[in-house]
Structure 1
Amino acid sequence: MRRILVPTDFSDQARNAFEVAVAIARQTGAAIKLLHVVEMPYSYSFSATGDLVGGNGMEQVYMMKLLENTKYRMAELERSVEHDGVEVVQEVDADNVIRKIRRVINDDKVDLVVMGSKGASGMDEFLIGSNTEKVVRTAECPVLTVKGPIPNLQIRNIVLPSDFKREIGTAVEKFKYFQQMFGAKLHLVYINTPGAFESSSNLRARMQKAAERYGLQNFTINVYNDTIEEDGILHFAEEIGADLVMMATHGRTGLSHLLSGSIAEDLVNHSDIPVLTFHLK
């Protein structure tokens, strides 16, 4: 791992994400980029020399002051987290948040995005969702979402929920990489729901076969009964004292996403445990 991206809105959750990113960077030798994106009216843009173009004189003064203040807050954020020995660079830009994050991921060849999540519920979640959820849905690299502070990052137990069918193979090497990086035990779990119930013996046999096929090590096999998948994952993770939930997402967009949703995105919104997601291409 060489590059970690930490988008920030200066919230407590974003600072928690920065602290986690520093802990991971110490383990891997990665460099960190702190990114803040100022959402500006479409009438504004930057010239080739970096000057603000668009709007009237007073509006330009306001926007320039806003950018200056943002750079000051970025410097304060960097100073607030001890990161001796870890390379940290800052970037402040004016753009659409999601578009800018995706561009940085591609241009900088980012290996991991670490983001804070405030979560969402009810109508807010249905209508807008969060920027973190949108990044989880679209990012081509792994995304780690963090809510609360984790002063001493120690990942000892990782929950890996799946149906353990063939498509999981596209993410297995990434699952194994992060398990090995943290030196953690992997808890494979199938959430058995009333609407898609299968016998425990058949499920355990399928999971064992998948584990052998992909060369997994240091793992347990678990079948957990619950009413819906998301609740089952959260309840199982809480029962075993998991430090991380790790799973793949289809990253559906548009109408199909509204109709079917995504378990990974729901977990990002509702889990107090960090969630590491991988986009299945």
Structure 2
Amino acid sequence: MKKILFPTDFSEVANNAFVHALEFAKVVHAELVLLHTFELPVYDNQFFPENYAVIYDSLELSQFDAFKDEIPKLRAIAEEHHLDKIKMTHRLMDGDLLSNIRKSIKEDKIDFVIMGTSGATGWEAFFVGTNTGSVITEIDIPMLCVPLEAKFKKIKTIGFTTRFRTKDKKALKTVLDIAKKTNAKVKCLYVKTSSSDVSKETIEKWEAEFMQEPIEFFVITSDAVKETILDFILYKEIDVLTMLTYKRGFFEGIFKPSLTKKMAANFEIPILAIPID
């Protein structure tokens, strides 16, 4: 059985993403590993009185109590959506989020990560901050990022962006596998810029190779890549957009408030980020 890691801080953003995680677990026949991390202050007991250690221990205990209190709320969300049969385990870990995600992926043999995103505030740093891309660029498994505005609905159309590189095919096959399980179609987009070097023959080979699959290919000529992708999401009614991690620059743009309000308003669907070799 596959395993999905779901990091949560029990916020509204996380609880919204939890519904997506439950539904995705149902589709791919996976169990959920719920991860909550916290950071305690670092101290050296050589320089602090004994009662400080007691306070430190009480802080750790309070984190455990808060965690314990939140679990039934998540169970209630699962029951409300008739997904309470999904197997769930729980991890409470001290330390920074990224390190704990990496640790859990390794120890729990995780196949996917699903996480909520609150847009250009907390998550701008998560994608483009001092951790240089954090989870998106530093894990080697697919990650589904769910904006608060993205309420769960049945997946009918999955968008897939590509540069028609050979190594993109493995990611596309992963997406097609998910699409078949949800009876969805895949719409594959290539934005052909003035500096693009993909030949017409390459595109035709891809179309021939995937002819029997539930997929359509779209080639749009434009130097406004981000805007073109956002228009594609809107007009092709994309429910989930797949991005490959070499497109990290897209994440930098999408979460910066410099984009127009119109673009930000249209960006209300989950992103499935897939790493490629």
Task: State the TM-score bracket (shorter-chain normalisation).
Answer: 0.7 to 0.9
Q: Indicate how the Cα distance of structure 1 residues 68 and 221 shifts in structure 2: closer, same or farther if over 3 A, else same.
A: same
Tell me the distance in 2 between the aligned counterparts of 1:278 and 1:123: 18
TM-score (norm. length: structure 2): 0.80
Alignment partner of 1:119 is 2:106:
no
Q: Which residue of structure 2 lines up, in the alignment, with residue 262 of structure 1? A: 249
Alignment partner of 1:69 is 2:66:
yes
Tell me the distance in 2 between the aligned counterparts of 1:90 and 1:151: 24
Q: Which residue of structure 2 lines up, in the alignment, with residue 254 of structure 1? A: none
> Deviation of residue 279 (structure 1)?
0.8
Per-residue Cα deviation, 1:25-69 (whole angstroms, up to 9, x for no partner): 22233111111001223348xxxxxxxx99532232233223322
- RMSD of aligned residue pairs (Cα, Å): 3.3
Alignment partner of 1:172 is 2:137:
no
8 Å Cα contact 1:119/1:268 also seen in 2: yes
Question: What SS class does the counterpart of residue 245 from structure 1 fall into?
Answer: strand
Q: Indicate how the Cα distance of structure 1 residues 117 and 54 shifts in structure 2: closer, same or farther if over 3 A, else same.
A: farther
Alignment partner of 1:79 is 2:66:
no
Q: Indicate how the Cα distance of structure 1 residues 5 and 98 shifts in structure 2: closer, same or farther if over 3 A, else same.
A: same
- Tell me which amino acid in the other structure corresponds to 2:75: E
- Tell me which amino acid in the other structure corresponds to 1:115: M
Tell me the distance in 2 between the aligned counterparts of 1:156 and 1:54: 58
Q: Which residue of structure 1 lines up, in the alignment, with residue 155 of structure 2? A: 155
Question: What SS class does the counterpart of residue 137 from structure 1 fall into?
Answer: helix
Per-residue Cα deviation, 1:96-147 (whole angstroms, up to 9, x for no partner): 211111111122111211110112269955996499x521211221111111
Question: What SS class does the counterpart of residue 81 from structure 1 fall into?
Answer: helix
Alignment partner of 1:209 is 2:205:
yes
8 Å Cα contact 2:117/2:123 also seen in 1: no
- Tell me which amino acid in the other structure corresponds to 1:177: D
> Deviation of residue 278 (structure 1)?
0.9
Structure 1 range deviating more: 80-89 or 208-217? 208-217
Tell me the distance in 2 between the aligned counterparts of 1:126 and 1:31: 25
Q: Which residue of structure 1 lines up, in the alignment, with residue 47 of structure 2? A: none
Q: Which residue of structure 1 lines up, in the alignment, with residue 41 of structure 2? A: 41
Question: What SS class does the counterpart of residue 106 from structure 1 fall into?
Answer: helix
Tell me the distance in 2 between the aligned counterparts of 1:197 and 1:250: 15
8 Å Cα contact 1:244/1:276 also seen in 2: yes
Q: Indicate how the Cα distance of structure 1 residues 146 and 130 shifts in structure 2: closer, same or farther if over 3 A, else same.
A: farther
Alignment partner of 1:59 is 2:46:
no
- Percent sequence identity is 24
- Tell me which amino acid in the other structure corresponds to 2:59: Y
TM-score (norm. length: structure 1): 0.79
8 Å Cα contact 1:191/1:232 also seen in 2: yes
Tell me the distance in 1 between the aligned counterparts of 2:245 and 2:30: 25
Q: Which residue of structure 1 lines up, in the alignment, with residue 21 of structure 2? A: 21
Instruction: Pick from 228, 231, 243 the counterpart of residue 235 of structure 1.
Output: 231
Q: Indicate how the Cα distance of structure 1 residues 193 and 122 shifts in structure 2: closer, same or farther if over 3 A, else same.
A: farther
> Deviation of residue 187 (structure 1)?
1.0
8 Å Cα contact 1:23/1:153 also seen in 2: no
Q: Indicate how the Cα distance of structure 1 residues 124 and 180 shifts in structure 2: closer, same or farther if over 3 A, else same.
A: closer
Q: Which residue of structure 2 lines up, in the alignment, with residue 50 of structure 1? A: none
Structure 1 range deviating more: 4-13 or 121-130? 121-130
* Residue segments in structure 2 that go unaligned for 5+ positions in a row: 45-49, 257-263
* Residue segments in structure 1 that go unaligned for 5+ positions in a row: 45-52, 252-260
Question: What SS class does the counterpart of residue 85 from structure 2 fall into?
Answer: coil
8 Å Cα contact 1:117/1:268 also seen in 2: no
